[in-house]
Amino acid sequence: MIKATDYFQRQELIDLTKDLLRIPSHTGVATQEKEIAAYMLEFFNRHGIQAYLQHVEKERSNVIAFIKGRKSPEGKSLMLNGHIDTEKPDDMNEDLFGAEMSSSNMFEGEVRQGYIWGRGAVDMKGPVAAMMMTLVVLKRAAQKLDGDIVFSGVVGEETRSKGMESLVACEKCLSQHDISLDGAVVGEPTDFQYVASHRGLVWLDIKFIGKGAHSGKPHHGVNAIEKAVAFLNIVKEELYPKLRERRHDFMGTSVMNIGTIKGGTGQSTVAEEALVRLDRRYVEGETLESVIQEYQDIANKMTKEDPSFSIEISRTPESVSVLPHPPLHTEMDESIVLAVKRALQQVLGHDPEVHTEYGWTDGALISKYMKIPTVVFGPGDIALAHTSEEKIDIDDLVKSVEVYTHIADEFCVF
């Protein structure tokens, strides 16, 4: 088993992470992930690693890189996966280090107090840099893997997961290189714990349809906001207790959040329309269809009791591509789970904890639709993602390269 730090310099990893941070790739960037994908492709080519771009849409492409193994009958092939888009930096002009950050600072990857700061540092350009460096380590060490090692950097995870959906649907993307995968690790930040299961996710729009009228004669109208309040009160009374009863050992309980409420046009007008947006996290045993049906059942009951009640339920357009976002569930005795656990034991010197009640990841699509057992592991604290103080510990980045290298050795070497 090789020691990763014998094959790369700490500064190399810092520079790579900073380079990725300096290329904005959030929604609103005209070419979105085009520039960062081009940089990553050039990086792999420069280090003698086979790589190519998989077109997704317009100027957006996934980055696929791989090192072929010896293809022994017992060899297993592993995919390291991460997304190359980020959330917007809208909240990052707040106080940082006692001074207001300029728009350029958000993408500079400034190094302070042992951390690299900036949008995407932890979610998830830092973990992506660690995965890229792992392939460099394996290439430089001429490590003889029995199976293949693959990196996939995908677009659009922060919105509709179009990149992963495109990879899932592209039958030839890996098969044309004689690659069939046996396990995957998604590098979302887990702070040196690991995730074998997490909840599914659906965003719902619930539109309440009323009838406008002058506020001086409200009985001439139907107030959509009032109908929304009545509906949400019943959801809280009847559905919340049911959700708390649905518990998975690793996913946690089924939960929902009322994210936004918008309605009405003015204080002196009966609200003709109201829109409630929900976030539902569902556990194994529930489905997208069963989640939606629960809200529809409440609406049907209310309509019977009140003919003026009118509602439309749909998935939030910004979240809808093609595939539902199901739960991830990987059995704890799967080879990839055991490889991740052993690698963490070797690097940390103690048994790692299983992270429960974790957020949704592209790993669910890999597991569900590519039929590949998948684990989530990456450096960094997820609580710092999407915040004004997003940062990643440099020591953790270095250590994660060691962990990824050990995973490859545990999983791909017979």
pLDDT of 198: 97
Confidence bin at 92 (pLDDT 50/70/90): low
- pLDDT of 97 strictly over 80: no
pLDDT at position 98 is 42
**One-letter amino acid of 324:** P
Question: Three-state SS for 195?
Answer: strand
Q: How confident is the model at residue 100 (pLDDT cuts 50, 70, 90)?
A: very low
Percent of the chain with pLDDT over 70: 96
339 pLDDT above the threshold of 60: yes
C-alpha closest to that of 68 among 182, 178, 176, 184: 178
Q: At what angle are helices 394-412 and 10-21 packed, to 10 degrees?
A: 100
* pLDDT attached to residue 72: 79
β-pairing verdict for 273-282 and 149-154? unpaired
Neighbours of 57 (CB within 10 A): 12
How confident is the model at residue 90, as a pLDDT?
76
Contact between 276 and 260 (Cβ < 8 Å): yes
Predicted pLDDT of residue 96: 45
Of all residues in the chain, the percent with pLDDT exceeding 90 is 87
Question: Degrees (nearest 5) of the Cα angle 104, 100, 93?
Answer: 60
| pLDDT tens-digit map of 263-281 | 999 999 999 999 999 999 9
Closest CA to 202 of 279, 260, 276, 298: 279
| Chain centroid, CA 408 distance in Å | 22
Over the stretch 41-75, which tens digit does the pLDDT of each residue have?
Answer: 999 999 999 999 999 999 999 999 999 998 777 78
Burial 252-280 (b: 16+ CB within 10 A, else e): bebbbeeeeeebbeeeeebbbbbbbbbbb
Could you give the CA distance from residue 134 to residue 81 in angstroms, rounded to a whole number? 12
Mention every residue, 6+ apart, whose C-beta is less than 8 A from residue 293. Answer: none
Q: Note whether 20 and 129 are within 8 A (CB).
A: yes
Q: Is 68 helix (H, G, I), strand (E, B) or coil?
A: coil
Distance linking the first and last C-alpha atoms of the chain: 12
Q: What is the mean pLDDT of residues 339-356?
A: 96
Euclidean distance between CA atoms 38 and 46, whole angstroms: 12
Alpha helices in 84-223 (DSSP H): 126-140, 162-169, 172-175
Average of per-residue pLDDT values in the chain: 93
CB 157, CB 38: distance < 8 Å: no
The answer to whether 41 and 54 have CB atoms below 8 angstroms apart is: no
Tokens of 397: 């980045």
Identity (one letter) of the amino acid at 20? L
200-211 confidence digits (pLDDT tens): 999 999 999 999
Compute the distance between CA of residue 381 and CA of residue 123 in angstroms, rounded to an integer: 9
Looking at 12-16, 108-112, 209-213, which range is the least confident one?
108-112
Stated length of the chain: 414
DSSP state of 122: I
Whole-model pTM: value is: 0.92
pLDDT band at 108 (very low <50, low <70, confident <90, very high): confident
* Res 93 pLDDT > 80: no
Within 235-349, where are the H helices?
Answer: 240-245, 288-305, 335-348
Average pLDDT over residues 233-237: 98
- Of 14-23, 71-80, 104-113, 195-204, the least confident: 104-113
Structure tokens at 4: 């990763």
Q: Which residues contact 241 (CB under 8 A, 6 or more apart)?
A: none
Distance CA 72, CA 196 (A): 27
Compute the Cα dihedral for 69, 20, 189, 245 and give only its sign. negative
Residue 228 has pLDDT above 90, yes or no: yes
User: Is the separation of the CB atoms in 29 and 118 below 8 Å?
Assistant: no
Q: Name the pairing type of β-strands 200-209 and 273-282.
A: antiparallel
pLDDT tens for each residue of 349-398: 999 999 999 999 999 999 999 999 999 999 999 999 988 889 999 999 99
Residue at 333: amino acid letter:
D
- Compute the 3-state secondary structure of the chain and give helix, strand, coil in percent, each to the nearest 5: 35, 25, 40
Tell me what pLDDT residue 271 has. 97
Is 330 within 8 Å of 337 (Cβ atoms)? yes
Residue 137 has pLDDT above 80, yes or no: yes
Q: Are strands 183-186 and 197-198 parallel, antiparallel or unpaired?
A: unpaired
Phi, psi torsion values for 401, nearest 5 degrees: -60, -40
Looking at residue 91, its pLDDT comes to: 66
User: What per-residue confidence (pLDDT) applies to 105?
Assistant: 66
